[in-house]
């Protein structure tokens, strides 16, 4: 039984979520929050790790309020945060189209899309704040697309039947990040943000049970430094790179979150991984990452494969009556706009039947011929031109003339550090924002909701909840022994990695770990496969600590050392992901257990047995993880079998 792989601890509850009507809860929480007067704000310091949408907006807003902010990113500029890669759009319930959208419908779609594994209070707050985000970003000058009458334009995204996604061509993440970045730099210039680029957080400083600082390594000089503050915010993104091949930037990692987990922060739902259906297929072992094609392309592109297995004809030579537009056939109500987990599994199924296209049969067509005929090429270019250009540069194929080839790939992670309604982790004073927390998305994120959550957390939630926490400050000086303990642990791991002097590269271990995770903890998981992964991962980790080769030293720039520390954390995370996936014997969102499916092959949840958040406690390197369950209650959106047919 999977129970032998972990211990069960006491249940956990979100004590910060207010009661009452759901539409009043966020207003109630803001009113009940304690305030810090302007003079005292100047005496309080907040550390923020990360400068993407969540971190950048949080830093800009907290500094604008008057707090002192110390902010870190491991890139050479905050502009290089992975948020800049988001293409398709950001959701909001403005209902400019008059097509029936509302805050309640956005709330409903998000709870349903997450397969009823998210908190209603959090999701409703997200839907409420969505409209404020658009106003904020327009005021900053974000160049959203506009329709002929001058209103902001909208397009549809998977999992919804309304058009609520605001976009800036195929560069939405870039434009939103530049908005947050200019607000951040304004505060840097004002002297209220102390910004440190090329610094990586390697540990959390705990004093008197509170998060009081971080230990960082200067990636250029190699110097280990500690910074202390009254509160710490982690906005360090997701951990999809545990799979090696993913749509994430190569630098994206789990280290900041994992080091906080080892210090006592619970890690929630680690196995909830989103597989994105619209990725350029793998082309060979030379690849180190994958490239995403925006889900917005499914608005006008039609997904199909040949009717007959083994049909190797060029797409233009296959007549209409020999094509299977399988999403339109299986899910007529939503068609090509089904949610990401549904579209991904459907693509895997047709490829498993031998009807996939391209090298290895691991691809399906995304065809724009109908859209070009209906709208004209100039209109298609106006909506998707930069995406088409990117596809052609990577594949050498012109998508105006031949269909794109796409295949599912690891994209977003719904799991992350457990937080309460205030976004505070189980360590007092540690706040977690954006993709780094276990999020508002349940078991599957609807498209265009990541940008919404990151900016909601940074611009609107944290300024209220961090202020409530800081109203109880000051907490006194951080003891020197707390700093020394954290620093010594960091130095010990660096020394250990450098001393092995083995014969295998860090990347070779990372690639092998990623293959195990994709094979056994990817799109489809089985009891047998997960148990095999739990045999393979510890053995590979043991080999890593015997044979890894980290050239150079810790003094100065050493990218092999950076990667080695991150991969060491990925090994521990990977094992917890498989334990979490094994214990959850249901199919839910992006977590598809082959043993749990309906008669027609769809995901089958078990609400009675698994209607909870799984929050895991680190008990030590040799001890079993401890499972704490947070029961989920649904008052407004009753759990039902998810159907998009």
CB 350 within 8 A of CB 324: yes
The Cα 564–Cα 549 span in angstroms is: 9
SS3 track for 364-387: EEEECHHHHHHHCHHHHHHHHHHH
The Cα 292–Cα 193 span in angstroms is: 33
Contacts of 496 (CB under 8 A, 6+ apart): 545
Q: Work out whether the CA dihedral 419, 425, 428, 432 comes out positive or negative.
A: negative
The Cα 147–Cα 204 span in angstroms is: 48
The Cα 209–Cα 224 span in angstroms is: 23
The Cα 209–Cα 15 span in angstroms is: 18
CB 257 within 8 A of CB 239: yes
The Cα 250–Cα 252 span in angstroms is: 6
Q: Which residues pair with 203 in a beta bridge?
A: 215
Cα dist from 160 to 200, 202, 528, whole Å? 38, 40, 35
Q: Is 340 a catalytic residue?
A: yes
Q: Which of 321, 245, 265, 134 is nearest to 514 (CA)?
A: 245
Q: Which of 40, 69, 90 is nearest to 185 (CA)?
A: 69
The Cα 143–Cα 550 span in angstroms is: 45
The Cα 356–Cα 350 span in angstroms is: 6
The Cα 303–Cα 365 span in angstroms is: 5
The Cα 279–Cα 294 span in angstroms is: 8
Cα dist from 535 to 119, 532, 570, 579, 591, whole Å? 34, 5, 16, 11, 20
Please state the separation of Cα 370 from the chain's center in Å. 33
Collapsed DSSP state (helix, strand, coil) of residue 193: strand
Beta strands in 427-479 (DSSP E): 430-432
Could you say which of 340, 355, 566, 605 is catalytic?
340
Question: Residues with catalytic annotation?
Answer: 340
């Amino acid at each position: 039984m999977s129970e032998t792989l972990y211990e069960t601890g006491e249940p956990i509850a979100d004590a910060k979520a207010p009661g009452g009507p759901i539409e009043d809860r966020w207003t109630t929480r803001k009113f009940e929050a304690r305030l810090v007067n302007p003079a005292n704000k100047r005496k309080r310091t907040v550390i923020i790790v990360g400068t993407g949408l969540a971190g950048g907006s949080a830093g800009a807003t907290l500094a604008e309020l008057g707090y002192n902010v110390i902010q870190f990113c491991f890139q050479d500029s905050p502009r290089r945060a992975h948020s800049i890669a988001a293409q398709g759009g950001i959701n909001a319930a403005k209902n400019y189209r008059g097509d029936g959208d509302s805050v309640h419908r956005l709330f409903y779609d998000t709870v349903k899309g997450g397969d009823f594994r998210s908190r209603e209070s959090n999701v409703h707050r997200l839907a409420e704040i969505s409209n404020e985000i658009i106003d904020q970003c327009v005021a900053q000058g974000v160049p959203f697309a506009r329709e002929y009458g001058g209103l902001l334009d909208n397009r549809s995204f998977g999992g919804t039947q309304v058009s609520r996604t605001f976009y800036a061509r195929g560069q939405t993440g870039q434009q939103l990040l530049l908005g947050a970045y200019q607000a951040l730099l304004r505060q840097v210039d004002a002297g209220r943000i102390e910004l440190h680029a090329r610094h990586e957080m390697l540990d959390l400083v705990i004093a008197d049970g509170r998060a009081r600082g971080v230990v960082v390594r200067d990636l250029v000089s190699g110097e280990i430094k500690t910074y202390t503050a009254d509160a710490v915010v982690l906005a360090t993104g997701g951990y999809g790179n545990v799979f090696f091949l993913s749509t994430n930037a190569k630098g994206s990692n789990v280290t900041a979150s994992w080091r906080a987990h080892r210090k006592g922060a619970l890690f929630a739902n680690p196995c909830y991984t989103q597989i994105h259906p619209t990725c350029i297929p793998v082309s060979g072992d030379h690849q180190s990452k994958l490239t995403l094609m925006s889900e917005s392309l499914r608005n006008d592109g039609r997904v199909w494969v040949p009717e007959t297995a083994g049909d190797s004809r060029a797409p233009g030579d296959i007549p209409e009556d020999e094509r299977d537009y399988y999403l339109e056939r299986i899910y007529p109500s939503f068609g090509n706009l089904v949610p990401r987990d549904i579209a991904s599994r459907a693509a895997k199924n047709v490829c498993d039947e031998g009807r996939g296209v391209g090298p290895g049969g691991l691809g399906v067509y995304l065809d724009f011929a109908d859209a070009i005929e209906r709208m004209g090429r100039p209109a298609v270019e106006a909506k998707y031109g930069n995406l088409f250009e990117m596809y052609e540069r990577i594949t050498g194929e012109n998508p105006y003339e031949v269909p794109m080839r796409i295949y599912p790939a690891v994209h977003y992670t719904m799991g992350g550090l457990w937080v309460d309604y205030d976004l505070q982790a189980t360590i007092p004073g540690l706040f977690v924002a954006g993709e780094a927390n276990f999020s508002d998305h349940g078991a599957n994120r609807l498209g265009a909701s990541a940008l919404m959550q990151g900016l909601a957390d940074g611009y609107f939630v944290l300024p209220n909840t961090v202020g409530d926490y800081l109203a109880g400050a000051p907490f006194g000086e951080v003891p020197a022994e707390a700093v020394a303990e954290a620093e010594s642990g960091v130095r010990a791991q660096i020394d250990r990695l450098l001393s092995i002097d083995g014969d295998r590269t860090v990347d070779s271990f990372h690639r092998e770990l990623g293959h195990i995770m994709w094979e056994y903890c990817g799109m489809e998981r089985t009891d047998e496969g997960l148990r095999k992964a739990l045999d393979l991962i510890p053995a590979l980790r043991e080999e890593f600590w015997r044979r890894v080769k980290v050239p150079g030293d810790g003094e100065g720039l050493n990218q092999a050392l950076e990667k080695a520390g991150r991969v060491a954390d990925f090994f521990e995370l990977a094992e917890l992901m498989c334990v979490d996936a094994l214990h959850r014997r249901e199919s839910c969102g992006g977590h598809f257990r082959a043993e749990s499916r309906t008669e027609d092959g769809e995901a089958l949840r078990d609400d009675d047995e698994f209607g909870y958040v799984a929050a895991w406690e680190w008990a030590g390197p040799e001890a079993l993880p401890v499972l704490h369950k947070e029961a989920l209650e649904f008052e407004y959106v009753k759990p039902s079998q998810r159907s998009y047919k």
